[in-house]
Structure 1
């Protein structure tokens, strides 16, 4: 496992990482998805053939009710098809969890159906309240995302009510 901040990745590293993620997500990985994964810490699993697993955590601001939180948002969690069901996802998320718990008020991620059991098993929990985003034109609710966001509580958010409205900052591509 390697931990690297985005600024430590060379152009070749970024190209290899994008190629890996595009393959791991069955060519359903856009440039905006990759952009969302940049700017934070990458946990990278490798073998002699190259990258076999990746997860990153980037800082975002989420508004829960009326409170703004500094959030470790998890992006681009993937394991190579040939290496799945061998515990690599757990190892990646173990490192991500450590980073979130040490550096942020809260962890959050948009869970795929395939990834959801991994996160739930590790103590992440569903946000049950309505979701939205703070756009340049104001708050826009994102009901299609309701139930798809998971959080990891930290010491400072142990008693947070997950039934409140949760808003994310605006960004290109998928907001969650």
Structure 2
């Protein structure tokens, strides 16, 4: 027996509407720190409005990720996509499996509620997603903007998909057209 508080590291999920303002402030602070201050208001807007997976320890929020709904047009069909946002682990808790546990909770939501999962991976996060079976989208990516199609060649190679088993991956010979939003489109 030690004098240290026990770490439970239990993953909890909740919709944004069910999180107290203080919890949202704590999530925002974690994301600001994890992204070295490069987490904009648009990035924050993209992170809220869906299901959050959080891990608390004795020091507070240790890890976070969320999945929000987006629409993706592929071959004339509008797909309901669970889009992963704001995945971060506090610096002192990295490389302890918390990112994987957050993703496991988000993947459960995606697998039960969406046709497809999608995310845009940083260089640092790509290995986590690949190890969990997410696949790099090999085709073209664009967004449907207010004035038409906006190609997103910089997102090609860093956009990962998680197919729901019955649906499989879309045909890569045709582009994925993501819905429009402010800030980074993916």
What is aligned with 1:6? 16
Asked whether 1:97 is paired with 2:107, we answer yes
TM-score computed with the length of structure 1 as normaliser: 0.96
What is aligned with 2:70? 60
In the TM superposition, structure 1's runs of 4+ consecutive aligned residues that sit over 3 Å from their partners are none
Q: Deviations over 1:58-110 (max 9, x none)?
A: 00001123221000000000001110110001111111111100110000000
For 1:17 and 1:74, the matched residues in 2 are separated by 15
Shift of the 64–156 alpha-carbon distance from structure 1 to 2, 3 Å rule, reads farther
Q: Helix, strand or coil: the match of 1:108?
A: strand
Contact 1:127 1:163 in 2 (8 A): no
Gaps of 5+ in 1: none
CA-based RMSD: 1.0
For 2:86 and 2:131, the matched residues in 1 are separated by 19
Contact 2:140 2:172 in 1 (8 A): no
For 1:61 and 1:96, the matched residues in 2 are separated by 18
User: If you compute each CA radius of gyration, which structure gives the higher value, 1 or 2?
Assistant: 2
What is aligned with 1:108? 118
For 1:104 and 1:115, the matched residues in 2 are separated by 22
Contact 1:39 1:58 in 2 (8 A): yes
